[in-house]
Amino acid sequence: MILYHGSNAEVPSIDLSKCTKYKDFGQGFYMTSIKQQASEWAQKVTRRFKFGKPFLNIYDFNDNLDDLKTISFTEPDAQWAVFVINNRNHEFSNHNDTLSNHDNKYDLVHGLVANDDISAILNTFLLGILPVTEISKALVYKQLNDQYSFHTQKALSHLKFLRSESI
């Protein structure tokens, strides 16, 4: 399977220590199976940081995951929402909770992207306006892209860098 990573640089080798904390699925290296999504992200990151140029990094992903601890979210349900909220929360401390990945208990997480539009819905839940049971209903008409986040060296061993393309 081919996965893409949009960036303002070529990324032939991945250093997990440089990955940002408090992302949807925790600190990790994020990729997608959607080329357009990665291309748009590369342009966004380049504009945000005002250096580099947009690159589409392309990897071959060995998706035989028998040796990895994984979790997957295929629907925008309450478990997915709580997982994202917990991982974005700087104050979250219950690392034993299966719906968090602050401690990288999962080598690989696959699921939906909580973009800015979706974040607004999650914030209404956090404010107590939207019950957790209504999250999936609120998201039913949203276009949800996919993401794969790699959190351990073991997970990264399933990736092979193929090439980078300047966008």
CA proximity to 82, closest of 68, 69, 71, 70: 71
Task: Check residue 118 and give its pLDDT.
Answer: 66
Model confidence, pTM: 0.86
Task: Check residue 100 and give its pLDDT.
Answer: 96
Task: Check residue 158 and give its pLDDT.
Answer: 98
Angle at 88 between CA 102 and CA 96, to 5 degrees: 30
- Distance (Å, whole) CA 87 – CA 69: 17
Q: pLDDT tens per residue, the chain (167 residues)?
A: 999 999 999 999 999 999 999 999 999 999 999 999 999 999 999 999 999 999 999 999 999 999 999 999 988 777 888 898 899 889 999 989 999 999 999 999 999 886 656 667 766 766 677 776 676 666 655 556 899 999 999 999 999 999 999 99
Task: Tell me how far the alpha carbon of residue 47 is from its chain's centroid.
Answer: 20
Gyration radius (Cα) of the chain, Å: 16
Angle at 148 between CA 142 and CA 151, to 5 degrees: 135
Task: Check residue 47 and give its pLDDT.
Answer: 95
Task: Check residue 136 and give its pLDDT.
Answer: 63
CA proximity to 85, closest of 24, 151, 28: 24
Task: Check residue 93 and give its pLDDT.
Answer: 93
C-alpha pair distances (Å), 72 with each of 76, 106, 114, 147: 11, 10, 14, 10
Task: Check residue 117 and give its pLDDT.
Answer: 62
H runs (alpha helix) in the chain: 35-49, 78-88, 116-126, 135-139, 153-156
Task: Check residue 131 and give its pLDDT.
Answer: 73
Which pair of structure tokens corresponds to residue 106?
Answer: 């999962």
